[in-house]
Amino acid sequence: MTDPRPRALVTGASRGIGAAIARALAPTHDVLLGGRDARSLEALARDLPGKARPWVVDLAHPGKIAGATADIGRLDVLVHNAAVAEPGTIADASPEVWQRVFAVNLFSAAELTRLLLPSLRQGRGHVVLINAGSGLRIKSNRGPYAASKYALRAFADALQAEEKPYGVRVTSIHPGPTDTDLQRKAAERAGQEYRPDQFLRPESVAAVVANAVRAPADATVTDAVID
Ligand SMILES: NC(=O)c1ccc[n+]([C@@H]2O[C@H](COP(=O)([O-])OP(=O)(O)OC[C@H]3O[C@@H](n4cnc5c(N)ncnc54)[C@H](OP(=O)(O)O)[C@@H]3O)[C@@H](O)[C@H]2O)c1
């Protein structure tokens, strides 16, 4: 018998916003949990309803993703959430920093999309890209991250234009600062006090994502800015 529940893949599901998105989708979707640490993903999978399971891939190497997509099969929702920030000035950013940030934040998203588009087209699926405020407004000290997020937005808009005829929906989500390891580490590095209550909760960002995914099929939330 075929499984009536739709299937979603969430990259960077081990913690932060990605884990919250996996939790928000799990009541209605079977979720593949992307990340590098199989044990933490297995623990999360045990905690979720439905057929959640780990999808262990290092997105720092886009050329190696293909082998890991072979067993995914049907896919209805692809959430590109994994990212690295690497704060610092452009004056200090080495070619390795640019390469690391773009490999995870853009090149892997592009390659994963390319590999999974046939399945997404078949099911008139949905691609959600977790972007950032930094993908719309530039601040100092995060040039490579912001550049990767601006490029991710361009990628999303091109994908939206090209895939609309196939019925594939594309949504860019631009959250403001959110209480996760990414923010906590940035505050530590800057020697600033970290106050979780000054940030969005990951669950709030995830609720917006889940609403976009559950919108009626004829309605596409093309972008959402969360403040
Ligand atoms: N937090 C914010 O203030 C904020 C604001 C706006 C937008 N965002 C965006 O929201 C998304 C999630 O951010 P977050 O704050 O939840 O970050 P986070 O807590 O640092 O989590 C990052 C996630 O990405 C995964 N990841 C990193 N490098 C990877 C790699 N090479 N291969 C596979 N997975 C990798 C991590 O998996 P591992 O466990 O394997 O490391 C982890 O699950 C990102 O796209 C970020 O740009 C965040």
HSE toward the beta carbon, residue 223, CA cutoff 13 A: 15
Calculated CA dihedral for residues 123, 128, 21, 76, nearest 10 degrees: 10
154 assigned to some structural domain:
yes
Mean pLDDT of 2-13: 90
Cα(143)–Cα(120) distance, integer angstroms: 32
Identify the pLDDT of residue 139: 86
- Total structural domains in the chain? 1
pLDDT at 3: 61
Give me ligand 1 centre to Cα 127, in Å.
17
**Ligand 1 near 175 CB (within 6 A):** yes
Q: For residue 80, which atom of ligand 1 is closest to its CA?
A: 45
Sorting pLDDT into bands at 50, 70 and 90, what band is 4?
A: confident
pLDDT value, residue 23: 98
Tell whether 194 is covered by a domain: no
User: CA angle at residue 163 from 161 to 202, to 5 degrees?
Assistant: 85
Q: What is the DSSP pairing of strand 77-80 with strand 126-130?
A: parallel
The pLDDT tens digits of the residues spanning 157-190 come to 999 999 999 999 999 999 999 999 999 998 898 8
Q: 12 in a domain, yes or no? A: yes
pTM of the model: 0.97
Q: From the CB of residue 110, how many other CB atoms can be counted at a distance below 10 Å?
A: 15
Share of the chain above pLDDT 90, in %: 93
Ligand 1 atom, smallest distance to 202 CA: 16
Q: Ligand 1 in contact with 47 (CB < 6 A)?
A: no
- Assess whether the C-beta atom of 37 lies below 6 angstroms from ligand 1: yes
In a domain, 37, yes or no: yes
Collapsed DSSP state (helix, strand, coil) of residue 101: helix
Range of the domain at 22: 7-176+202-226
Tell me if 74 is assigned to some domain.
yes
Structure tokens at 13: 């599901």
- Find out whether the beta carbon of 84 lies less than 6 Å from any atom of ligand 1: yes
Does residue 107 register a pLDDT over 80?
Answer: yes
Query: Which atom of ligand 1 is nearest to 16's Cα?
Result: 16
Residue 182 lies in a domain: no
Determine whether the shortest distance from the Cβ of 36 to ligand 1 is under 6 A.
yes
Domain of 74: which CATH number?
Answer: 3.40.50.720
Beta strands per DSSP E along the chain: 7-10, 30-35, 53-56, 77-80, 126-130, 169-175, 223-226
Q: Which tens digits make up the pLDDT trace of 123-167?
A: 999 999 999 999 999 889 999 999 999 999 999 999 999 999 999
| Domain membership flag for residue 13 | yes
Mean pLDDT, residues 21-27 taken together: 98
Name the average pLDDT for the chain: 96
36 in any annotated domain: yes
- Is residue 145 part of the annotated active site? The answer reads yes
Q: Does 72 have pLDDT greater than 60?
A: yes
